[in-house]
Structure 1
Amino acid sequence: MGHIKYASDVGAPVEVAFSYADNHLFVPDWMFGIARFAPTGEIDHGLGAVFATTACVALWRTTMTCEITEYRRNVVIGYTLRGRLSGTLTLRFDPLGYGRSVLTSEAEYVPPRGFVGRMSVGLMDSVVKSALRRTESQLRREIEEFHGTDLVGRIA
């Protein structure tokens, strides 16, 4: 199983950062390659929420399910992707002080199997690293933009 981890400083308190990441309507804005993220049941956030997800990367398009498998308010959200792309994305939020927080993004994925899979492990690692880095930096920018608006009672 492949594992990649990034951490970054976010210019917003943990509560604001978590609230933004917890809203399923914003997921296509920050998660790399995700074009659609819609709840499939009554629950639209929190542990056990399941989403129909459409991923678009270049000309390739696939549909999969995404379930929130780890959830602690203002601490962690864990997404598990199931389908042609499978793995987990875990977002951790830690207070940094002075209205700032640390966002730690971790991805775990299953590399392709068989001879061709073993030959393409380096390529797969590279693609996942790039996607996680883009997801993390876009989420950080979106949180900071969200925090700078009157949506949370402040005007930048």
Structure 2
Amino acid sequence: MTEVKIVADCAASAESAFQYVNDYRNLPHFLHGIESFTPVGDQIEGLGASFDGHIKLGPASLRSRVEVNRWEKDFAIGIRSIKGFEIDSTFLFHPKGDDLCTIDAIVDYRVPGGLAGRALGKTIEPFVKITVKHTTDNLIRQIAEFHRGGDRNSR
């Protein structure tokens, strides 16, 4: 597996950051390269909620079905793929005050074995780095705007 870890301070409470990331409708706004992210069934949050996702990383088009495997209100959201491209991702929200928190985002992904898998890994690696940078910038900015109330009325 390849691990990508982001640790960033955000001008928002841990509660606001959790609330923003927990709303699956926000994912396409902050996750760079995401083509779609849709619920599978009626459950849209909490343990067991499932989603179908499609992301473009350069020339690679990757699909996965993920399930929420960790959900601790205002602290942690974790997902793991149950079908398709293998991914395991966790967001942790650490309070530092009413208007400040630290967000840890840990993403592990695995490409298939063999020649095709190694080729895919080499193809997507530079795009993963770009995606992480853009996603971090987007996420921190959008959570801060949400916390200040700029996005609450649009839902």
Range 113-122 or range 98-107, more displaced: 113-122
Q: Which amino acid aligns with 1:148?
A: R
Q: In angstroms, what is the RMSD of aligned CA positions? A: 2.5
% of aligned pairs identical? 26
SS of residue paired to 1:142: helix
Q: Structure 1 106/35 Cα, relative in aligned 2: closer, same or farther at 3 Å? A: same
Q: Which residue number corresponds to residue 9 of structure 1?
A: 9
Maintained 8 Å contact 2:53/2:63: yes
Range 142-151 or range 37-46, more displaced: 142-151
Q: Structure 1 59/128 Cα, relative in aligned 2: closer, same or farther at 3 Å? A: closer
Q: Which residue number corresponds to residue 24 of structure 2?
A: 24
Q: Which residue number corresponds to residue 89 of structure 2?
A: 89
Q: Which amino acid aligns with 1:135?
A: T
**Runs (5+) with no aligned partner, structure 1:** none
Maintained 8 Å contact 1:105/1:132: no
Q: Which amino acid aligns with 1:75?
A: F
Alpha-carbon offset, residue 86 of structure 1: 2.0
Range 131-140 or range 26-35, more displaced: 131-140
Q: TM-score, normalised by structure 2?
A: 0.83
Range 17-26 or range 104-113, more displaced: 104-113
SS of residue paired to 1:43: coil
Paired positions, count: 153
Range 81-90 or range 36-45, more displaced: 81-90
**Runs (5+) with no aligned partner, structure 2:** none
Q: Which residue number corresponds to residue 109 of structure 1?
A: 109
